[in-house]
Structure 1
Amino acid sequence: MSSTREIKQRIKNIESVRQLIHGMHMVASTQLRRSGKQLEGIIPVQKELQRKIDELAVVDETRKFPYYEHRRVRNSLYVVFSADRGLSGSYNNRVLNFALEEMKGKNEKVFVIGSYGYRFFQKNKKNIVQSVIGLPDSRIYYGSENIAKALLDLFLKRKCDEVFLVYTEFENILLSRPKIERILPLETRRPEPVAGTFEPSLDVYLKHLIPFYLHMTIFRAFSEAHISEQASRMLAMDTAGSNAEELVEKLQRNLNRQRQQEVTQELAEIVGQRQ
């Protein structure tokens, strides 16, 4: 059985870890609130852009533009959002394994975001064409714009025939789920008469609209992934904190029992000496 000194040292060590856990929980909570406000701001913008894209899907003239070209799929590009840091429960494993499952049967190329994803796809010997690692929160907006430009360039140069986003969609603090959506080529539907005209031309309109639409769609995916990561980290810290508390309580009971045994032994020795 451990001595009283050893048990006290273990309790002290666990209390130190509990302080670290509490600090990480507070940081994750702050970032969660900040990411939530960011997501609330981007959703209306992205939805309005999506509405514009849906309206264009029935315009017959759009079919001549490369953004809408549905060609034979030889290469599929997957943009996978993961984290740069751990201690976030099953967040990384869920989205990365989900992406890996979606790639089955495809000649895939991977555009990976986050160091965890980079190591994961390297280990699984996937074709990583580009990666973004260590992007600060303050640069996510501009980083999304650069990623959108890179994806559009790869698609227009026929280095890939379809582009998918794979990220974790945030529902609430307790629930988030991996999601995949295709962003290129854009969807077309049965042509319908459209009132009005495009000024100065449909070509100019699309050249401005499509990059901005991709930018905002990637920015939203970034925001969804980031808030999901922080929520998962908060839950992981809650669980770790509860486990540490239970362990301290167990050690405290052991310490009390050890003290009782030591006192009993000392009394027995005193009584034995007097006899």
Structure 2
Amino acid sequence: MAGSMKDIKLRIKSVESTMQITKAMELVASSKLRHAKLRVEKSRPCFEVLHQTLADIAASNTDFSSVYTVVRPVKRTCYVVIAGDRGLAGGYNANVFKAAAAHMQGRDCCVLPVGKKALEHYQRQNVEILSKEFHEAEDVSVGHCFTMARMLAKGFLDGEYDEVYVVYTNFVSMLTQTPAVLRLLPLNAPKRPEPGPHQLILYEPDCESVYNAIVPEYLAGLVYGALCESVASEMGARRTAMDAASKNAGEMIETLSLHYNRARQAAITQEITEIVAGGEA
């Protein structure tokens, strides 16, 4: 009985230590989540301005055309997969890989992984990797996103791949994060201007050159926005997972304490019975 009580007490101490770790990780994730949400909010205006500029260029020219809007037969596809750097975030990484695998099925593809987990996953899958430079998602900056965008645009223009997608996690709320697949290239065909008089804008040297110069900036904005959403989603998922782990640890401590008290009560009762029996003898 004494051995059993000692084992329960050691188990309680072990669970309490684990609970302290999960509580600390929850607080760290909550702190990082606030910064990540601010970064998401700040990244959206840049993307909206670039998107509106591209739409204005296309809509204000009747004979507009661009190599970035040409849809060609798909022989090869490139995926930018954004995952986390660490685990302990519930199903965050697994859901991203599941969404990417479903979209990649039956396609000849290559991957540009962002995040340590993404790099490790596709190395195990023996999938062709374009670059290992962006293996730390938290350290990827706006400059790195421009580097990625130029790399993707050059590969698309050179015919190395015919489509480019980004797989990321959309931050809906603190409790909800949904994986998403967004096509980067080719861009959607611009809307033709409506019949009738409309304002024409003169671009130098021409509208197509200006449009093609802006596209890499636009792609960088999309990648950076997806990265900000993913980082915020990872922090939200980790905070939720650590909160659930802390609650489970608390429930486990209560159950073990109940077992310990019962064992202690049984030991005391047995001692009293032995004393009484000895006295009667």
TM-score range, shorter chain: over 0.9
Structure 1 residues 104 and 134: CA distance shift in structure 2, 3 A: closer
Given the alignment, which residue of 215, 226, 239 partners 1:210? 215
Q: Report the AA paired with residue 128 of structure 1.
A: I
Deviation at 1:248, TM superposition (A): 0.3
Q: Report the AA paired with residue 176 of structure 1.
A: Q
Q: Which range is displaced more, 67-76 or 212-221?
A: 67-76
Cα distance in 1, alignment partners of residues 152 and 277 from structure 2: 85
Q: Are 1:128 and 2:129 an aligned pair?
A: yes
Q: Report the AA paired with residue 21 of structure 1.
A: T
Q: Report the AA paired with residue 233 of structure 2.
A: S
Q: Which residue is equivalent to 2:276?
A: 271
Q: Which residue is equivalent to 1:141?
A: 142
Cα distance in 2, alignment partners of residues 134 and 109 from structure 1: 16
Matches within 5 A, 1:95-134: 95-134=96-135
Q: Which residue is equivalent to 2:227?
A: 222
Deviation at 1:158, TM superposition (A): 1.1
Q: Report the AA paired with residue 147 of structure 2.
A: N
Cα distance in 2, alignment partners of residues 175 and 25 from structure 1: 16
Q: Are 1:168 and 2:173 an aligned pair?
A: no
Cα distance in 1, alignment partners of residues 115 and 63 from structure 2: 39
Q: Which residue is equivalent to 1:55?
A: 56
Contact 1:4 1:255 survives alignment (8 Å) = yes
Contact 2:37 2:232 survives alignment (8 Å) = yes
DSSP-derived class of the 2:192 partner: coil
Contact 2:82 2:137 survives alignment (8 Å) = no
Contact 2:134 2:140 survives alignment (8 Å) = no
Question: What's the Cα RMSD here?
Answer: 1.9
Structure 1 residues 244 and 117: CA distance shift in structure 2, 3 A: same
Cα distance in 2, alignment partners of residues 199 and 106 from structure 1: 40
Structure 1 residues 218 and 194: CA distance shift in structure 2, 3 A: farther
DSSP-derived class of the 1:109 partner: strand
Structure 1 residues 252 and 219: CA distance shift in structure 2, 3 A: same
Number of residue pairs matched by the alignment: 274
Contact 1:77 1:163 survives alignment (8 Å) = yes
DSSP-derived class of the 1:127 partner: coil
Q: Which range is displaced more, 125-134 or 111-120?
A: 125-134
Q: Which residue is equivalent to 1:250?
A: 255
If the length of structure 2 is used for normalisation, what is the TM-score?
0.91
Structure 1 residues 105 and 54: CA distance shift in structure 2, 3 A: farther
Deviation at 1:71, TM superposition (A): 1.8
Q: Report the AA paired with residue 166 of structure 2.
A: L
Q: Which residue is equivalent to 2:18?
A: 17
Q: Are 1:33 and 2:34 an aligned pair?
A: yes
Deviation at 1:61, TM superposition (A): 4.1
Q: Deviations over 1:202-236 (max 9, x none)?
A: 24423442121111111000000100010000110
Cα distance in 1, alignment partners of residues 63 and 18 from structure 2: 63
Deviation at 1:60, TM superposition (A): 4.4
Cα distance in 1, alignment partners of residues 190 and 223 from structure 2: 23
Cα distance in 1, alignment partners of residues 9 and 142 from structure 2: 49
Contact 1:62 1:68 survives alignment (8 Å) = no
How many percent identity over aligned positions? 32
Q: Report the AA paired with residue 94 of structure 1.
A: N
DSSP-derived class of the 1:128 partner: coil
Cα distance in 2, alignment partners of residues 97 and 54 from structure 1: 33
